[in-house]
Amino acid sequence: MQTIEDKIKQKAKNLGFDLVSITSAVPVDSAHIEHFKKWLAGGCHGKMNWLAKNIDKRFNPALLLPTAKSVICTALNYKPAKTALTPAVKIASYALYPDYHNFIKKRLFELADFIKNQTGKELQFKVCVDSAPLAERALARRAGLGFIGRNHLLTNPRLGSFLLLGELITNLLLKIDVPMQKKDFCKGCCRCIDACQTGALSKNLFFNARKCISYLTIEHKGRIPKKLKSKINSHIFGCDRCILACPYNKKAPVCRSRDFKLSAERLNLSPKQILKLSQETFNVLFTDSPLSRTGLRQLKRNALICAKNAI
């Protein structure tokens, strides 16, 4: 006879999630919290000031849902085929597709409806997909979805780190899964650190967002420091260098989800074409894309850097 946990996991898989595990809603361990506070104190978060807010909520799911007892952690593999990794400009792989927030949230709400029907109980829940202040990677690691690698991404030994995370916090008391066996999954490997041209990754376990190409091209709104411009090369939105360098990702399977549809029109845009875009064309072309988040002005700033680097 299937347990409710088995039914939830099977339904999540049927909805298209590649990984699903359950952890409790108790706070994240104190060592993780202290590491995060030291990271903030060092200014490594750059101008992402929202990361310094709601710290208590970030590490305690019960502060997002007072009745919380369990957290159902899910992950979707978004690894693109090799043919999709050669656009005219370099775009982070997740941004090659439509905005993932919408379809992951939809699936989690469907999962919540399923749980309501199965239990017949009044279900209180909260859906989270990285926009809520929640330590997703720490919870996913605790639930046994994977480990946090030297690139600071949740990595699954089978699926790698091309993973998009989502959580369903619920008042339902569920049997929890255990973390992966404690060992150094990255032992002897520093390929992600070596692949980072700007030095955002280092062996001291701190990630310096201020030097990260993803931060510079997406989150940083002002001028990009001159010494970093040349290292951006042709990256116009985000960077996958540390992900692509990871051995776990080289052998990971390609994404097969129907939700991840590539846009040839976006892939083939050159820096010169982007510099000529009107606001109207930008709005139409990127209406359902993560690239819309940067805005046209910032995208043109990045395109100009890419164009100059190509000379």
Active site residues: 130
**Cβ neighbours, 10 Å, residue 226:** 7
Structural contact between residues 11 and 59, judged by C-beta atoms closer than 8 angstroms: no
Is residue 83 packed enough to be buried (19+ CB in 10 Å), middle (13-18) or exposed (0-12)? exposed
Closest by alpha carbon to 32, among 210, 242, 179? 179
Instruction: Give the span between the Cα atoms of 13 and 36, in whole angstroms.
Output: 32
DSSP 218: I
Question: Angle CA(104)–CA(108)–CA(110) in degrees, nearest 5?
Answer: 115
Instruction: Give the span between the Cα atoms of 256 and 297, in whole angstroms.
Output: 34
